Amino acid sequence: MCVPLKHDKSLAEFCDNVRAARRGTGSPGTIITEDRIKALDELGFTWEDKNKSFEKRIEELQALKAKHGHVRVTVKHDKSLAGLCTNLRSASRGTESRNVLAEDRIKALDELGFTW
């Protein structure tokens, strides 16, 4: 079960919040019980977001850096990763109102030598 934002914003946000609660990255004090996890599993809930996790994308950037010596990703290198980099730059400038770039993500990208 994966609900696109454009189909039902409220339900999509709920799903994102449930995933964050299970990862322990949700709002402070937000927890999800084993009973709720079981009930969602029975419904076929998709625990991994349809988008690759940030950690997986960082690993892809690390691999690209190991191969090419930099993280200046172009469409020629990887179309999806290039799009991510564009979105990250937009989020850092505040031009993407839906995207909020957390400090830990900024730090991880800076450590890789990401060009903002």
64 and 29 in one domain?
A: no
**Across residues 55-74, what is the average pLDDT?**
91
Q: Coil, strand, or helix at residue 10?
A: helix
- CA 40 – CA 35 distance, rounded (Å): 9
97 and 59 in one domain?
A: yes
Q: Is the pLDDT of residue 112 over 90?
A: yes
Which of the four pLDDT bands, split at 50, 70 and 90, describes residue 100? low
Q: Is residue 2 part of a domain?
A: no
104 and 65 in one domain?
A: yes
- CA 49 – CA 114 distance, rounded (Å): 24
Q: Can you give the pTM of this predicted structure?
A: 0.54
Q: Is residue 1 part of a domain?
A: no
CA neighbor of 74 nearest in space, from 59, 64, 63, 62: 64
Residue range of the domain that includes 102: 54-112
Q: Is the pLDDT of residue 95 over 80?
A: no
Mean pLDDT of the chain: 84
CA neighbor of 58 nearest in space, from 85, 89, 98: 85
34 and 69 in one domain?
A: no
How buried is residue 54: exposed, middle or buried, by Cβ count under 10 Å (0-12/13-18/19+)? middle
Which of the four pLDDT bands, split at 50, 70 and 90, describes residue 99? low
Which of the four pLDDT bands, split at 50, 70 and 90, describes residue 73? very high
- CA 115 – CA 71 distance, rounded (Å): 7
